[in-house]
Amino acid sequence: MADIQIDKQLCDGCGDCVKACPMEIFLLKEEKATAINVETCMDCELCEVGCPNLAIKVTG
């Protein structure tokens, strides 16, 4: 299973990760990205690549 780390200080709430993730793992909560349903992550890293602020790191 993937481990998704979100640096809340770097996240500006743009929502690019929400748009990029084909598994709908991300949502914006209090104007910051939050990962839900992490067990469905395919490790595609589209969220990490799509984040303009480098706030997301996927390992697994």
pLDDT tens track for 1-42: 899 999 999 999 999 999 999 999 999 999 999 999 999 999
Q: List Cβ neighbours of 52 (8 Å cut-off, separation of 6 or more).
A: 14, 16
Q: What is the pTM of this model?
A: 0.91
What is the model's pLDDT at position 57?
A: 98
Question: How many Å is the maximal CA-CA distance in the chain?
Answer: 27
Quote the pLDDT of residue 5.
Answer: 98
pLDDT bucket at 60, cuts 50 / 70 / 90 = confident
Determine the structural domain holding residue 55 and report its residue range: 3-59
The CATH number assigned to the domain holding 55 equals 3.30.70.20
Total Cβ atoms within 10 A of residue 24:
10
Please tell me the total count of domains within the chain: 1
CB of 43 within 8 A of CB of 22? no
